[in-house]
Structure 1
Amino acid sequence: MFNRRLIALAAFPFILEACGGGSISDSPNPLATSDQLAAEKLAIAVVEEPAVVAAKATLKANWLAAARATGGVSDEALTNLDEAVDESVFAFALSLASGDANDPKVVSFLAAPHNWYGMNVPGSRTTFDNPDTIYRKIPVDPALSYVLAGTVHAQKPVDFNFSLYSSTSATLSNLAGDQLAPQADGSFVINASSLSSGGSNQIQLVSEAASIFVRDTINEWGVQQFNSLAIKRTPSVSTQPQTADALATTLAATLQTPAAAAPFIAYNALGYAQPVNTLPAPSLGGTGGRLANQAASYAAFQLADDEALVLNVNLGGAKYFIAPAYGRWTITTDYINHTQTLNNAQAVPNPDGTYTFVISPKDPSVYNWVDTAGLHQGFLNPRWQGLPTTPASVGPSATVKVVKLGDLQTVLPTTTKYVTATERQAQLAARAASYASRYAP
């Protein structure tokens, strides 16, 4: 305990800076830190290096082979393959640009393309990104000690977690937001080392530890705010700045290994583990990088222009639920201007607290429309977070049924909310406006 107090006191100036909103002064945006902007700038340079551009071909070929070996690939799906590969590669680059265990940085990724601070930042979506969640991966070494400092703002996320991962993204431990003990002003300090003090705000770095994966999830865009977060190694050491050349060499080599395509291959196989347009019962995560205390299900869909999937959902006591539609390459396309994902705050519940969604490439005039953004082939990944400690009498569940668009009214609840074309445009305009603050300077 004494050693942990010394660590926290030594880091106190850093804690004050981090809790004040990171390294970008005059910015209320918790994502707009100097480390984030520097990492994005560096990653943009890295992915433009010739060696990385050439290595993308290997990743693309491995994805394509895996897809063709399972559910097949439509001509439509091929049209956004390059975009998906580009975003996955940029995610790799951002991960490298977040430093190493000697000098880690807090950098968010798995995000849509955005423009801020004079930069056009490419998207970094890969393997079932969630637009409600900000993901931050922090490299750590169990032989070293760190202090994470941050702030839980007044309009806090509906759910947030600090997961300790091995080098293969297996969950070693998870510190959930409701286990965190912040100060009255929302500030918090988490000590991360091989030591254990028995307190609540700690992450014990066991021998297999390789990274801390942070997820902040909101379901009210433009209202709830992501947590501020920064990290410092204690004691700090002098390190050389990373260069685009060095990172490009590492990234190009990585992209040509089987491990680079492994997440896509695994989730692609999981989505096609049963017939299309069916949905297995949700299961708790913890493997393959999944959130340990999250329930989720995976399925592939294949729909004609005149077809839809009706998705009926029971929250099972969860604070958060999302119904997302993905393209063939396991990423979203345009969730800002389309209702490609809907969470439990964005959708209208049934009178009994359940939810009914209509998933289709064409507008069914239903408020709870999960728009595939015109795609006829892709994946579903409904997920439940903030599950009760004591399981509810009826746990999380979901069912899907293929229906002709013309027959929807015969299967939807009588209380279903329908919309006109004008009302749909209003819904979409409100959605885009609520997202706009995420990357506002």
Structure 2
Amino acid sequence: LVQRSSEIGSLGRSSAVMEQADAAPVAAVGPVPTKGPLSWRPSVVGAGLQNLGNTCYVNAVLQCLTHTPPLAISLLNGQHQRACQKQPFCMLCAVRAHVTRALLHPGDVIQPRKDLVASFHRHRQEDAHEFLMFALDAMQRCPSEDTLIQQIFGGCWRSQIQCLRCLGVSDTFDPYLDVTLDITAAQSVEQALRELVKAEKLDGENAYHCGVCLRKGPATKRLTLHRASKVLILVLKRFTDVTGDKMDKKVRYPEHLDLQPYLSVQKAGALDYELFAVLVHSGWTCHQGHYFCYIRAGNGWWYRMDDSKVTACDTASALSQSAYVLFYIQRGELERATGGASADRAPRSPGADPIGRDAAVGEPRSPSSIRVSASEGPLAETDIQEITLEQWRRHQEHSRPKAEFNLRKVEPALRPIAVSEAQEVYEPLLCAGPPSAGPASCG
């Protein structure tokens, strides 16, 4: 039931991946932090992605990775790019270039980099989860940054077998990047997790040979979380291994998930995770259908991202899907990424534009109404710039809510983007209007 690290990365290892000349990595974005992570709270969602022909599974995975806070922060601080040798190809640099372009072009449609899928895509519908694990494994194999993916997505299971004769205990530890849940009999993610860690009796033909008493006899086996990952990837096992047929049933999944009951060593207090991405498959088998996703951007708003179409939606819509892959982040990691406050607690008002109108159409934000902090932590009160009442009214007029924005243009080719150090795409944006305007109303 658990995806072991040894099973990850068997896809595409024999195929060489060559970096394309028209898709060079972008320049470093902003200064390298000396203490702590960069603040992560963009005011808008990233760009839509063009479908290049049966690449919806790629687009859905890239959108989920783009909006994974600790991964985006680590890539955008520029430290890896300066140390990387890029020989012959670096998946981390390729993903970094994609993340930067997506966040610098809100309201547009961009093409996903072809070198991201050159050794995986076979011009047919592929499985999104397989591509996700392929991408994570490829990023792990960068020699100059071989621990980043483990630090973000990696955790460790403890498999404990206890002999019922001498009560001797044997522990085995297995690392993981994702957790596969059997949903055959489960109606919710919590129920599937409880089934995963339920104690198993080893007896009869499955009797255990104890290494302590050196006898074969009954034993119990239980799987628990020895070390929980910062970002938790839950895969709902919807497809059969042989035919690829889909189990199309609704499985409830929470916005907030507590992993405390599944830990090897119980600790005081909850181990809270928050949902930030939902990957969905529409269709009857893994060989056909369509992939799209729901993501929660740094401004706290949910969006449906379906190739080039990006639509603002409510939380209820994001929680009512027939999910295939769920992305959760530890509450503490999310608070560090968003400057000390969980994104879902962001105040919202009827006048707040969740997409950010000026950013969506490529218009520069007015320096009189918005100020980008140069610090790495939350903004202080002295960082707020005053505006006139008339400026605030004009700001409110531009920030009327829109259910959907039309993506304006498709970039014809993948070009290197030079980013100056003044462009802090992941620095917090703070509207200078009254608190009722909300965090996402900096149109």
TM-score w.r.t. length of structure 1? 0.27
Which structure's relative contact order is higher, taking Cα pairs within 8 Å and 6+ residues apart? Answer: 2
